[in-house]
Structure 1
Amino acid sequence: MFNQKVTVAKPMIISCLLYILFSIITFILTKRFIHLMILWNLFLAALPLLFARLFVIYSEQRVWHKCLFCSFLWLLFFPNAPYLLTDVIHLQGISFYSISEDHAVIYSSNLLDWMSLVHLGVGIFIGTWSGMLSLMILHQWMIRRLHRFLVNTLLFIVYIVSGFAIYLGRFLRLNSWDLFQPFAFFEKISKSISVFSVGFSLLFALYICLIYSFCSFIFLSGTGSKQKFGRW
């Protein structure tokens, strides 16, 4: 078991170091700060995986107050994973193609622009996958212990809350820790409720639902996979 964990951890560490190096090089070449900022966003997106793992450990030890605290922290930081998708707006100044006068499509030959796209794409994939894996861990824990209707209800709540949290993060520039200043936090929220905020929140709730449904189908549909994820 120990050797298996070391075998898995080593390529993960190497991949993280390579991505950090990729981020630094991309920033130096493109002068776009998003290529450094995404490292912080990825750190926040990885925290739910830690909290989900701690939740499972404490549940096996039956330390329920720590389980409750970890679940709260998980929900607090989980939206940071799907939030990464919105970082593509930082590429809005880049034109990847143009239309000539004879309506021919001319693609950009600026390698640095494509480098920015690849870098953000990899970061979004890593962060989103980390978040979905953390949700899989908690989902499998709930499936073994709770009624199916309650499990689906909790998933629905996670989707809605996370979709709204992404709106708060992108448009109101609120962070997870701003919740610890409840008066200012809820005052900003009360002033931001609109048709757009509701529509945006539901749109990203749908995005999270679709991404998680796809990931769980791929990784949990195999024989015995549910048991493996439950013990991860």
Structure 2
Amino acid sequence: MFKQLQQSFLFKLYFSKTELERLLILSCLFSMGLTAVRIVYTHHLQFAWLTWNLFLALVPYLITRFAVQNISWIEKRWKFVLLFWVWLLFLPNSFYIITDLFHLEIANRVPLWFDLALIFSFAWNGILLGVLSIRMMEKMVQLNFPSIKEWQFVYPLMLLNAFGVYIGRYLRYNSWDVIADPFQLTEDIIYLLLHPLRHRLDWSMIVCYAVFMTLIYLAVKRMSKALW
């Protein structure tokens, strides 16, 4: 019986990981568990889509983990540049879940505190996955381009990250629309860039989230160094 358990997918998924990854798995399972409880209790699939958003938030982390485990994608510069741009396309998905807090509202059958815990747990997992992924990518960038300073990597990255969150939340584009609908996406981005005064609130949101995400990343990074 125990041997069968050892061979099971969940056993391998959990016990073959680092302690941090095990905590991430438990945290993600907690979020999905809250969603399952809500569905059973209300007989409604509201917030079930958060699981899909969490999967998308996991993609950039998996990309960087893949690179770490396959060193040729770091050593060969053309491979690394390709990997970086694919990673960058998916990175906003990790922080996008923060904006899912917009969906928090008083429901008749579900306590507000429960929905707050549910949505925030997903947002928290997205932030953790994003921060860890960015940290791994920062190390890989510094290996390939040693002259790049922390601020030269983090600040522009977070601005692009916040821009991606904006076009996902308000323009309703997905990462794959770069391939599926590139012309309309490009047109909307150019219009936003050419008319910043017409989109003052939009750019305010982008800058605000860029600063917010930068502070989160730098704070977690500094805390990890201080604790060790």
Structure 1 length-normalised TM: 0.77
Q: CA RMSD in A?
A: 2.9
Whichever residue aligns with residue 140 of structure 1, its letter is K
Matched-pair contact (CA < 8 Å) for 2:60–2:91: yes
Indicate the residue corresponding to 2:8 in structure 1: none
Q: Distance in 2 between matches of 1:33 and 1:205?
A: 32
Indicate the residue corresponding to 2:3 in structure 1: none
Indicate the residue corresponding to 1:188 in structure 2: 188
1:60-118 alpha-carbon deviations (Å, 9 max, x no partner): 56343332222112111111111111101111x328xxxxxxxxxxxxx9763221111
Indicate the residue corresponding to 2:9 in structure 1: none
Matched-pair contact (CA < 8 Å) for 1:55–1:66: no
Structure 2 length-normalised TM: 0.78
Q: Distance in 2 between matches of 1:10 and 1:213?
A: 23
Alignment of structure 1 residues 205-220 onto 2, 5 Å: 205-220=210-225
Counterpart among 55, 58, 63 of residue 43 in structure 1: 55
Matched-pair contact (CA < 8 Å) for 2:27–2:125: no
Q: Distance in 1 between matches of 2:63 and 2:190?
A: 29
Q: Distance in 2 between matches of 1:85 and 1:34?
A: 17
1:31-56 alpha-carbon deviations (Å, 9 max, x no partner): 66552111111101111111112233
Report deviation, 1:30: 4.4
Matched-pair contact (CA < 8 Å) for 1:29–1:112: no
Indicate the residue corresponding to 2:7 in structure 1: none
Q: Distance in 2 between matches of 1:35 and 1:222?
A: 36
Counterpart among 63, 79, 93 of residue 92 in structure 2: 79
Report deviation, 1:216: 0.7
Whichever residue aligns with residue 160 of structure 2, its letter is V
Instruction: Provide closer, same or farther for how the CA distance between residues 34 and 137 of structure 1 changes in structure 2, counting only shifts above 3 A.
Output: farther
Alignment of structure 1 residues 1-232 onto 2, 5 Å: 5-6=16-17, 8=19, 12-30=24-42, 33-59=45-71, 62-91=75-104, 93-94=105-106, 112-144=111-143, 146-147=145-146, 149-180=148-179, 181-192=181-192, 193=195, 194-223=199-228
Report deviation, 1:12: 4.9
Report deviation, 1:206: 0.7
Matched-pair contact (CA < 8 Å) for 1:58–1:66: no
SS in 2 for 1:94: coil
**Structure 1 residues without counterparts, runs of 5 or longer:** 96-108, 224-232
1:154-183 alpha-carbon deviations (Å, 9 max, x no partner): 222111111111110111101111111321
